[in-house]
Amino acid sequence: METRIESEVRRALGGAAAISAGSEEGETLASWLAERAGGEGLLDIAYAAVDTPLGVATVAATDRGLIRVMLPNEDRDRSLERLAREVSPRILEAPGQVDAPRRELDEYFAGRRRAFDLGLDLRLVHAAFYRQVLEALRKVRFGETLTYGEIAARAGNPRAHRAAGTAVGTNPLPIVVPCHRVVRAGGELGNYGGGPEMKRFLLELEGALPLS
């Protein structure tokens, strides 16, 4: 049972939490911290939102390069938690530290960029063959499409089309490593982590598909 003095004190002091700051102050705190932390080498992962025609995506980068592109349909909090577990929990929202990928994605969606010029951090990709697949994918040009078998061959193992499919399907850097350019042999679009609508949109943007 709460005593009278207890409830009185709670009522009097409880108002303190109400005089709290707005969310902009939170961003100010995070960007101030990111700046200080950057100078001291305390920040391991910076992330920020990027607007796309199909919703808000998120990019995350380490000092080695871009480590994750989270498409609009992805659960961002869960993905950040996974980064915290697998890479480091020193993660801050810091738009200033991911300027380059944000700008390049903006340009890509505006139709002004056909290739990305970004350093990549592939440490979330553990299997050597998966990395080879993603490296091969990086060389697939804007507007070009190919099948899972073809990407497996380009990665050095033509028979490993299933493994290639997994590598493509678990690509941590969609769009920048263009897994949307891999389609089914029969001509169907096939799966896409960002959803079929996103895949169609990207292929249409690149002129690989007639506009629907």
Partner 1 sequence: MAAPPFQALIDEHRRSVLAFLRSLVGPADADDCLQETFLAALRAYPPRETSNLRGWIFKIAHNKALDHHRARTRAPHPVGDGGQLDGAGAAAAPAWLGGRSGGTGGREGAIWSAVADLPEGQRAAVLLRFAVDLRYREIGAALDISEEAARRRVSDALQALRSRIATGKES
The nearer residue to partner 1, 85 or 126, going by C-beta atoms, is 85
1 binds partner 1 (CB under 8 A): no
The nearer residue to partner 1, 91 or 173, going by C-beta atoms, is 91
Interface residue with partner 1 among 51, 75, 81, 197 (CB under 8 A) is: 81
Interface residue with partner 1 among 55, 57, 75, 85 (CB under 8 A) is: 85
CA distance 46 to 13: 37
Give kind and range of the element (H or E) at residue 85: helix 76-86
Active-site hit among 43, 87, 175, 179: 179
Annotated active-site residue 55? The verdict is: no
Return the closest-CA partner of residue 62 out of 154, 173, 150, 175. 173
Return the closest-CA partner of residue 129 out of 107, 151, 104. 151
DSSP helix/strand/coil, 155: coil
Return the closest-CA partner of residue 209 out of 186, 193, 190, 189. 189
Catalytic residue set: 179
Interface residues toward partner 1, by CB under 8 A:
3, 5-6, 8-17, 19-21, 25-26, 29-30, 32-33, 36-37, 40, 42-43, 45, 47, 77, 80-81, 83-85, 89-93
